[in-house]
Amino acid sequence: MKCVNCNANFSGREGAKFCSTKCRVAFHRNGEVLEEEPILEEDPVLEEIAEDDGEYRGSVTNKTLKEMGPDDLYLEIGKYMHDTWAESQEYAELMTRLKTMSYEELQKGGYHIPNWKRPFKK
C-alpha cells in the first residue's frame, strides 16, 4: 500500500493510510482531517513536534494555542487530571491573555474575567 502523505510503499495493517505516525501527523498538519485516523493526545510523535515548533494541536480543537478561543482553552484546561491544569500551556496562554488584553476585549471575547481584572468601582 501507499502512504497518503509521502507516497512511499509500505506494509501495515488493513486500511492503514500512512507509513508512519510522523506522516500521519504531517498530513493532518497540512489541514486535511481524516475522521478514521484521529490524532491522540498521548501520541509521542505529536508531542515531539509540538515541542519542536511551539505549536500545539489538541485532539478536539485541532487548533494552535494562539488560534484557540476562550471556550477551547477552558475545554482543554478542563481535561487535565487533578491539579496538573495549573501547569498546562493552555492555562498559561489564558493567563497571558487575561493579563495583556483589556477588560473590554475580554468581555467581548467571552472570557471569564477574574476579579482582579475588573475595573475599579467606587
Binding region for Zn ion (CB under 5 A):
3, 5-6, 8, 19, 23
CA angle 41, 8, 34 (to 5 degrees): 35
Q: For Zn ion, give the closer residue by CB, 7 or 100.
A: 7
CA dist 88 to 65, 71, 95, 118, Å?
Answer: 11, 15, 11, 24
> Could you tell me the smallest distance in angstroms from the CB atom of residue 116 to Zn ion?
49
> Could you tell me the smallest distance in angstroms from the CB atom of residue 39 to Zn ion?
15
Q: For Zn ion, give the closer residue by CB, 9 or 115.
A: 9
> Could you tell me the smallest distance in angstroms from the CB atom of residue 19 to Zn ion?
4
> Could you tell me the smallest distance in angstroms from the CB atom of residue 37 to Zn ion?
13
Q: For Zn ion, give the closer residue by CB, 3 or 49.
A: 3
CA distance 105 to 50: 28
Q: For Zn ion, give the closer residue by CB, 45 or 98.
A: 45
CA 66, chain centre distance (Å): 9
What DSSP assignment string belongs to 35-50?
TTSPPPTT-HHHHHHH
